[in-house]
Every structure is written in structure tokens, then in C-alpha cells.
Structure 1
């Protein structure tokens, strides 16, 4: 039980670049270094970098973030193939990764 409590004190964002169902790359940010807004800006910027300025202006849904509804985990996504998924994990959930 104490391991779980400690895990909540040290939460981590895991950000994945995905192409289809394949993970292209993955990186982590401690919650202390990046809040929700920081993560949203990050994944929107990453997604927008794959578009031309005209595409981004005409089709903002191609890069704007969406919040997953349901479940117990905080998850944001942005982009379309490649797309980016950011999810918050307790540190004890990712120690074995």
C-alpha cells in the first residue's frame, strides 16, 4: 500500500508518438516539470509540426488536443498519423518499463 501512496507523489507523464498502433518513440516528464497545460501545448506543437501552415490553419482538428473521457487515467491526444498520446502514470506503475 505504501508503494502506491509513494507512486502518487511521483507521477510521470508518458508521451508517445504513434503511427497507427505502433509506438515510434516515447519520453517521460515528471509532473513537477510539466503540468496539464504544458503537456497539451507540447503534444499540439508536435502534431502541428507535421502539417504545413495552410493545413494547420484550415484544419485545426488535425493538431488540437482531445481529452479522453472515462477511465481513471488522465489522457490527452493530438494529431493524426502520426499522433501523440500523453498519459499520467504513478511512478510505481512504470518502474518495470
Structure 2
């Protein structure tokens, strides 16, 4: 649930950034491409979308890596606890 919320927040933030950048592009494309501001805007918008996708992918990868690390640590801790308990049980028996 938290993961979903985080993802939603990230998506919202990315969308906001994208909108802001698009607004900036609409406001000042004159000095870059006076003849074809629409074409420049289109290209920039597409580039922005690609960047957002890349960022989202990176975020997903990072989250997955973190989850895997946490799982491995938990498993290691459980294994240690079990081995200690087993050793204690064996010690008590003999």
C-alpha cells in the first residue's frame, strides 16, 4: 500500500515537473527556434516524457533492490536466530 502511495506521489511530482518545463518552453521558444516553435515544443515534450520514463524505471529498480536487500537481511537474521536456538537446544540435551 505504501509502495503504491510512493509511486503515485512520484508520478504526480514527475507530471508537475513536466508541465512546468512545457510552460517554460511555450513561454520562451523564440530565441532558440523563431521559425518552428511548435516543432521544438513537440521535440522537447517527447524528450521530457522519455526522461520521466527513465526516472520512473530507475526508481522502480532502486525500490526492487532495496526490497531484495531487506529480504536477504531478514532471512540471514532468522537463520542466525534458528541456529542459535538449535545450538542451545542441543546444549541442553547433552
TM-score, normalising length from structure 1? 0.29
The structure where helix makes up a greater share of residues is: 2
- Structure number with greater CO (CA < 8 Å, separation at least 6) is 1
TM-score, normalising length from structure 2? 0.30
Larger radius of gyration: 2
